[in-house]
Structure 1
């Protein structure tokens, strides 16, 4: 029962926060912001909790884990040294809106909560064999949609140019796809090799029941 309540609460919280973030973007007159993968990822992970689908959760963690770790490093670096390492979190400290800052704090908790969700749902590993495919299809569709909409000033999901100022590879589209594909495959491999996410771990399950 304790485990079930925790999973449902996580799902409701993540879906609600994701919708709040999207809604705030629309209210600001910047509807393009609803395509940020972090916001979409929160909602999909939340849905994965509600329907107890570890494959959905893992598909989003494949996309988000490494980029958000880099953002978190930037955030902590600025708090300690007043400088960021990659330039990813600079906007947070320049943003005047408290609401926008509160929403951006999802970068700090999304991966820990996503990992917790994957641990609690614990579908068998062989049922998650398609997670990386979902990740790649989602990223490809987002890239195409954003290119068609062609609003480059917000650079949503770093589709138009590198989010790290001192990295400007050419041709950029090819570099973007190679990078995100490598991120997905590497992250998927690491999660699937982590035994704590396999439902056969009876001792871990008993502690949560």
Structure 2
């Protein structure tokens, strides 16, 4: 999923689910982090102009101590903190934020979608919200079978990376079947026109080859990820 889309989805959740009138942004100082921030700003400016960004901060990718950044966020006192980063960044950030007395909800994206984030953050992970593409509460039998078999085989809960990799592989498999042989152009065309139901929903593609699909909003409850909402607004998903 494009970074801009994830950034817009975070903004959408802040406004729709939390009725936020003010937000703070904190993200890694790299291309992906900046792209996420751009998407958030873009959505708020166009669709929720009454919701203000009080502060934006970028941290070095290898950062481990977020207290200096969090102290400024605490002073700004936003309704919601949109914290983009990977699980090894968001986990410590959440823990440090709660230790500092920051009580605002935190919203993240699929980089934090890992059981390891919850292990790192501990109790501070409770009620953390993220936009991702894997719904652990999906009732479809093959999704629940995948979740169970993954844990049985590897001894850990899966994350969106595992589910997305499985879906990508199955798109290729089904497209080869559609093409009827191993002609690369035929396979490419079959992929481009495919709409294949997978663990993370139905995958279909733009002319540029990007995936279009609704995003799932998960919330951490009792040391696990659970369904909260879905983001299917075209204003979020499509440029």
Determine which structure has more spread, i.e. the larger CA radius of gyration.
Answer: 2
Same fold (TM over 0.5): no
Question: Looking at both structures, which has the greater relative contact order when contacts are Cα pairs under 8 Å and sequence separation is at least 6?
Answer: 1
Category of TM-score, reference length = shorter chain:
under 0.3
More strand by share: 2
Give TM-score, length-normalised by structure 1.
Answer: 0.24
| TM-score scaled by length of structure 2 | 0.22
